[in-house]
């Protein structure tokens, strides 16, 4: 009897809460995958963070320093994530000369 009450209290809190990411309807093409790989290999990590069911922010971590976008996104979250990977690739990538 006590365990049912305890389980009911814990439901939906902290690590017990399951976040359902929106589906990425477009598979990243070869160029987008290149931006993603380069960023990950250079300690630039970008991912969606849930605020509520359909509200998302983007968390960007560069060399251990994290910031969260003030804008809210909906189902278009993955388009924006891919856009940020391209932005940071273009900003920091320097070809060997």
pLDDT tens digits along 64-93: 999 999 999 988 888 999 999 999 999 999
Per-residue model confidence (pLDDT) at position 15 = 45
Query: How many residues are recorded in the chain?
Result: 97
pTM score, whole prediction: 0.70
Q: What is the CA 56 to chain-centroid distance, rounded?
A: 9
> What is the per-residue burial (b if ≥16 Cβ within 10 Å, else e) of 4-39?
eeeeeeeeeeeeeeeeeeeeeeeeeeeebeebbeeb
pLDDT score recorded for residue 13: 46
For position 51, what pLDDT does the model report?
Answer: 76
CB atoms inside a 10 Å sphere around CB 52: 7
Q: What share of the chain is helix, strand, coil (3-state, %, to 5)?
A: 40, 20, 40
pLDDT tens for each residue of 11-58: 444 444 444 556 656 677 888 899 999 999 999 999 999 876 778 999
């Amino acid at each position: 009897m006590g365990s049912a009450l305890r389980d009911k209290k814990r439901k939906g809190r902290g690590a017990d809460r399951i976040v359902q990411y929106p589906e990425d309807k477009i598979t990243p093409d070869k160029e987008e995958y290149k931006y993603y790989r380069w960023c990950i290999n250079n300690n630039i990590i970008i991912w969606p963070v849930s605020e509520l069911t359909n509200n998302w922010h983007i968390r960007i971590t560069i060399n251990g320093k994290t910031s969260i976008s003030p804008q809210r996104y909906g189902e278009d979250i993955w388009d924006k994530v891919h856009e940020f990977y391209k932005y940071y690739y273009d900003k920091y990538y320097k070809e060997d000369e």
